[in-house]
Structures are given as C-alpha cells and as structure tokens.
Amino acid sequence: MTPSPGTAWVLLVIAGLLEIVWALGLKYSDGFTRPVPSVIVVVGAAASFWLLSLAMRVLPAGTAYAVWVGIGAAGTALLGMALLGEATTVARLACIVLIVAGVLGLKLVSGG
C-alpha cells in the first residue's frame, strides 16, 4: 500500500507518537526485566518502525526520519518532565521549542 501524501503525514505522526511510547517504555521496563513494559516497548517499536516505513514510501527519507525523531525526542522529553520528575528548566523547554519548530518547518517546506 502506498499512502497519499496526507495519509503519509498522519502515519508519520502516529509513528512519532509510538516512538514516545516505546522510549518511555524502556525506562519502565527496567532493562527488559519487567514483562509488560518490555512487551509494550517491542510492540510499540515495531509498529513505529512499520508506520515510518510506510510514510517513507511517499515522503523524503530525511524529512520523514527527522520529523519522526523530533516528535519522539520532544514528546519523550516533555513526558519525562511530567511523569518522571526530570528537570524542567527554561533552557530545556526552549530546546524542545526549537525541535518542534524544526519539525513544523520540515512539514511546511516538504508539502503534503
């Protein structure tokens, strides 16, 4: 199945959200010693990679990968602050804003 450009972007966003799931799941899996979080990591990662690969059928690889990583990095950092008590500083938040701006910029210049 080759998605339309609009669908490819939706798949890419879902893939990025799943990246957040598996990245946080790694923390909760405690080095893959806890079964439920470990299964969530493996299933989430597989689904994330699969959706990314579908989006890359239509979108440029560099753009798709950068957007996927950006969603995952920004989302994981924000949820790390909210759920895991990680430091919330102006500098960290400013860097996350820059990541989001980069992702939005890539979307704007890539079309679709």
- pLDDT at residue 19 in the model: 98
- pLDDT at residue 27 in the model: 95
- pLDDT at residue 107 in the model: 86
94 has pLDDT over 70: yes
Q: Find all residues with CB under 8 Å of 66, minimum gap 6, and list them.
A: 102, 103, 106
Domain that holds residue 65: 5-110
- pLDDT at residue 112 in the model: 58
How many Å apart are CA 27 and CA 53, to the nearest integer? 25
91 has pLDDT over 90: yes
- How many domains does the chain fold into? 1
Q: What is the pTM of this model?
A: 0.92
Mean of pLDDT over the chain: 95
- pLDDT at residue 48 in the model: 98
What's at 109, amino acid-wise?
V
